Amino acid sequence: MSNILLVTNEESITKDFPNKLILLRETDDLSYCDYEDAPDIVFTDKPDIVIVHEHNEKDKTLNLIKYIKTQIDSVLLLINNYDRNFILSAYDEGIDDYFGINSDASEISIRTVNCIKKDNLKKTINRYSNYLKAYELLDSSDNYISSKNSENILNIELQTKNYRNGALLLIEPDEEGKASYSSEKMKTALNKSIRNTDIIAHSSGIKTFIMISEGGIAGAAKILDKIKKELNDKISIKAGICEITSNKFDIIEKHAQCALSESLSSGQEFTIYTNNEPEENWLEEPKEKNYKLFKNAFNKKLEKVITPVFYRLQKSWEEKLFNTKIEQYTSETQSVFRLIHPKQTSLLKIVYPGFAKVIVYITHEGLNSPENKEISLSLNEINNKEITHIIEEFIREFKNTIE
């Protein structure tokens, strides 16, 4: 049985609407109230689903939806006319779906029944969630995996799912961020930035793990960027990122912790863990002279070294170079880092010509431009430190020119 409340200020809606819910079960109950009484009725009766009919003043509709969502989970919107911005705003406040007053009976019934099914699923999930909180598997404040059980649960996840293309992101507020830290602000930023397939777990203190199954290091860096945008400088954070190279969480946790420590000490936005042990250095140049092997090795360098360095340096420099646009992208054949200023355009391009080496082309266009360069690198010379050095030198040359 589901109790459904229709909120409307128009009597004609209460007369016409029941005839359109032809697929509802006999045990389902439909009642009505106006906008004025709605908050008290929702608070007291806790209906399973509330259908809110659009008010002439749209802000009143949005404010009512916002209140209802503090009391129950499921809300449908009944609109008079299609207004894209209004509907998007209603989704932002938490509606499950919408339909129009002129929608046919089958559409209204199907969307309402789907909402009932979804509401039943939400209640089941909430019930199980409460069990998990009671046994401290989930943190009671945000539903993330608790620090007490993060290692055990993430170990199970690693051993039952393929994380070959995944990454682990560990974030923590820096000293300035700790002063303005708010668990609620952090929770909101995380929830708006992650995908359903990502897993959030508490680490020690106010550190947070985010484990992603697809996208690798570049995907983790994008999630970090979204989180920082959502925080909007209210809480400054640093991060460590590592590949998932083992199905044992304690191993990759150490890698992420190591990268985070370096990020905090160096002041960099994030640091990527690099394994410098020769016997495990899978980025070494192939011993056999084979184009396919060299190409595969270069693709790994591109994914694990060049792309993250390009991304990190763009984020690091875009606020330091006044009136300058920074563009960067990578493809299978080249990686481009471009700086554009009214006085000067400079381009750094890394190209793999199909041999054991790559070529870095640096070109400057503008008055008093630095000398163009061409740098040849073997595959085993391509690492975070070397690529960072080349790009930062390139940026300094550009900066000296525009100043």
**Could you give all domains of the chain from N- to C-terminal order, each with its CATH number?**
3-133 (3.40.50.2300), 150-273 (3.30.70.270), 291-402 (no CATH)
pLDDT at 62: 96
323: left (phi over 0), alpha (psi -120 to 50) or beta: left
Residues of the chain with pLDDT under 50: 276-282
pLDDT at 280: 40
Of residues 327, 317, 315, 281, the one with CA closest to residue 301: 281
The model carries a pTM of 0.60
pLDDT at 285: 57
pLDDT at 375: 92
What is the distance between the alpha carbons of residues 245 and 241, in angstroms, rounded to a whole number?
A: 12
- Tell me whether residue 65 is exposed, middle or buried, using C-beta atoms within 10 angstroms of its C-beta: 0 to 12, 13 to 18, 19 or more: buried
Q: Are 344 and 364 in contact (CB under 8 A)?
A: yes
Sort strands 74-79 and 199-202 into parallel, antiparallel or unpaired: unpaired
pLDDT at 278: 37
105 phi and psi, to 5 degrees? -60, -40
Q: How far, CA to CA in Å, does 151 sit from each of 248, 282, 333?
A: 9, 27, 40
Of residues 365, 362, 373, 375, the one with CA closest to residue 401: 365
Structure token pair of residue 56: 């002439």
pLDDT at 279: 35
pLDDT at 347: 93
111-126 per-position pLDDT tens digit:
988 998 999 999 999 8
Residues with Cβ < 8 Å from 128, sequence gap 6 or more? Answer: none
pLDDT at 23: 54
Half-sphere exposure of residue 305, counting CA atoms within 13 Å on the CB side? 25
Q: How far, CA to CA in Å, does 70 sit from each of 42, 65, 256?
A: 10, 9, 37
The DSSP call for residue 56 is S
The H-or-E segment that residue 40 falls in is: helix 38-45
What is the distance between the alpha carbons of residues 151 and 387, in angstroms, rounded to a whole number?
A: 34
Structure token pair of residue 215: 């996208």
